[in-house]
Amino acid sequence: MQSRPVAAALSTHLPRQPSVTVAILAGVLVWLSPSWAQAQDQRFSHNVVVDAARALAGTRYQPLEEVPDELLSLNYDQYRSIRYRKGAAVWGGTPTQFSIEFFAPGNLYDTGVDISIVENGQALPIPLDEDAFEGVSEEIGEILTSIAKVAGFRLHYSFNEDYQDEFVVFQGASYFRAVSEGQSYGLSARGLAIDVAEPSGEEFPVFREFWIERPSSRADSIVVHALLDSPRATGAYRFGIYPGAPTRMDVEATLFARSELDHIGIGTLTSMYAFGTMDAPDVPDYRNAVHDSNGLAIINGQGEYIWRPLHNPRSLQISAFMDYNPQGFGLMQRHREFSDYQDLEAGYHRRPSAWIRPVGNWGEGHVVLVEIPTPSEFNDNIVAYWKPATPLVPGEPFRFAYHMSWPDQRPIPEGMGRVVRSAYGIKLAEPYPQMVIDYSNMPAGINIADIDFDVSLSDGRVIETLAHPNHLNGARVVLTFDPQGSQLSEISIRPTYQGEAVGETWLYRWTNG
């Protein structure tokens, strides 16, 4: 039988009939007898994962082992045909409202991870036998059984009495995604990002081991623990997951640096924006828009509500929004009607938004938005995250926590205008760029003519700013400007009434081409 990974020994949970166990002593891998490991046995808690992450940080990084070539050589259709057998679902057919199914490694998923189930305070590896997966040949089935690893897992929950719906997936590196009731999968989240868009290249941490706690029969939430590892950092994560409308997560993490890290991303979100109202597609398309998200929303430390439309640029664009103790940020899919897209297959109007609300004070840093050119809707090209100003250094644990939700919309206070549409064009008969911004739900009892729409440009000059009432109980703002030869200009529009904000601050980076 294949031995468990380093983390298994550190957490002291044991596979059935173990042959060998691994521990770390003074930074050296040591093979130990099962009797020693059993003597160290203890009840599982999150501290087990923290201790494992701390110990791993003191050792040299060991990449996850690749699965056999027979699995790597599976083509896309062959891999998709492999399905976890419904009858083998963990807790399936029991009073527990949750169940777990697993993904086979293979094709693009070239490594496997270890997963344990925690029941009555004890952690045991998931049972995988030759009948666990359907749609495989006898040879592939034997290989999957022999390696005793999976590529990830998905959680199911009974939103209704007749069926358990899939609502959370952890699969690949430190990626995970979720949906709320009535939604379909869209953007993803990550446990940690390192060196996004840096010239030296991005480092992708992985969740190399998971522990999933069994909820009681009446519980409406589930807890997942994860051990993160990468060449320069390790981490212990706890996810308290609450399915519903919206699905929510309480995320707690402790990071340990192997070497100093100046550029990490916390609360990292990854999405896709191909085209929409701000930019036309490169080739004719019958659809009105194609995107999983259409804007970055921020509530900064001063309580200012910010909306930044997304863009599919011609060249890599990185925007950093300096802040201190942010109140929240996220990637939003604000257009929620089928008519916004006219796509019967993809259902972009049902894609979730994702909102990050920090727990405690996150201090000084930036909300970073990365926009990457893409010719295809099959490529994720949008990344957003919080970048702390303070670097991670070896020997100093870095702890953070946040609440995460997967709503249709982010709530906005009554009387605060919401940007519902942003569009770009050229002024009729004049070669000047024009921005058109529609606000809905502006404060009742205030004439649009009495609202100040404060405009600033980093380059160029404002030619004209007009504001009219619109059919959305709000305002349409039309900004015409002259770039004066500049190739880029940062634009800001802030609606105020008697000095107080009455709508989201609209930000955008205009580029020529």
Q: Tens-digit pLDDT profile for the chain (513 aa)?
A: 333 333 332 232 222 233 333 333 333 333 222 322 333 456 899 999 999 999 999 999 999 999 999 999 999 999 999 999 988 999 998 889 999 999 999 999 999 999 999 999 999 999 888 788 999 888 888 899 888 899 999 999 988 766 788 999 999 999 999 999 999 999 999 999 999 999 999 999 999 999 999 999 999 999 999 999 999 999 999 999 999 999 999 999 999 999 999 999 999 999 999 999 999 898 999 999 999 999 999 999 999 999 999 999 999 999 999 999 999 999 999 999 999 999 999 999 999 999 999 999 999 999 999 999 999 999 999 999 999 999 999 999 999 999 999 999 988 998 899 999 999 999 988 899 999 999 999 998 899 999 999 999 999 999 999 999 998 889 999 999 999 999 999 999 999 999 999 999 999 999 987
Alpha-carbon distance 458 to 306, whole Å? 17
Q: Are 455 and 496 spatial neighbours (Cβ–Cβ below 8 Å)?
A: no
Q: How many Å is the Cα radius of gyration of the chain? A: 25
Alpha-carbon distance 303 to 283, whole Å? 41
Alpha-carbon distance 84 to 71, whole Å? 16
Alpha-carbon distance 13 to 8, whole Å? 6
Other beta carbons within 10 Å of 280: 12
- pLDDT tens figures, 420-446: 999 999 998 889 999 999 999 999 889
Give pLDDT, residue 36. Answer: 26
Give the pTM: 0.90
Alpha-carbon distance 402 to 305, whole Å? 19
Domains along the chain?
418-511 (2.60.40.10)
